Amino acid sequence: MRGPRSIEIWKMGAVNYLEALKLQEKLASDRKTHKIKDTSLSLQHPPTFTLGKRRTVHNVLVSEAELKAMGAELHYTERGGDATFHGPHQAILYPIISLRDIGIGARKYVENLESTMIELASLYGVKARAGETGETGVWVGRRKIGAIGVRISSGVTSHGLAFNIDPDLNYFKHIVPCGIPDKEVTSLQKEVGLGQKLPSEQVIHEQLVSCFTKIFGYTDITWRDKTSVSSDGHE
């Protein structure tokens, strides 16, 4: 009989994208060799645009120099998915977990990430749905509220999901979000209305983690404050 499914959640606050990327690579390597148990990073980034492994540069609508002028960075990654934006007031989860150990495949993993954000939105009375054919992420009507881009290597995941709490949506005008033209991007605050005050972002980050651990069946959850962690995993 299997024991409780365990995961460690690292609460990291605001982290530079490249630092988070290096840390994910280190943790994924350690997870493959069973040096660590399943781990997930809970964080947000300064304004950052990223492209997936298909390198669809045409979906970034301004030059890299213009992005720098607005205080944003552009990074090329090895995740799936297309162009996306990460920034303040967004809840990001980067799960470093062994799909083999929990017995699910890539498709089910992505479906579970979608369900995580759908459940979080439902806590605030927002009816979200998984993307339809040709769409990725999570949507409210025809407006995108959450993005998914994952990498799976030797059955171990990295990258993950980004849920819009209340980011500056003007940043999304500079890309074709996830390569899907003529679609809007939205946020939890926009959907509930300006008249409804949301709880602190820390509370929403924790609710996102709770939805994730529930859907993935984790019952032994350890929280670690890693706001001073370095990219090699040391505090």
Residue 233 DSSP code: S
- Separation of alpha carbons 57 and 44, rounded Å: 23
Is 178 considered catalytic here?
Answer: yes
Torsion 93-174-53-82 (CA) sign? positive
Among 88, 99, 81, 91, smallest CA distance to 28 is for 99
For residue 183, report the phi and psi dihedrals to the nearest 5 degrees: -120, 145
Mapped onto helix, strand or coil, the DSSP state of residue 211 is helix
For residue 179, report the phi and psi dihedrals to the nearest 5 degrees: 75, 15
Catalytic residue among 178, 185, 204, 209: 178
Can you read off the two tokens belonging to residue 105? 């495949």
Render the burial of 158-174: b for 16+ CB within 10 Å, e for the rest: bbbbbbbbbbebebbeb
Just list the catalytic residues.
178
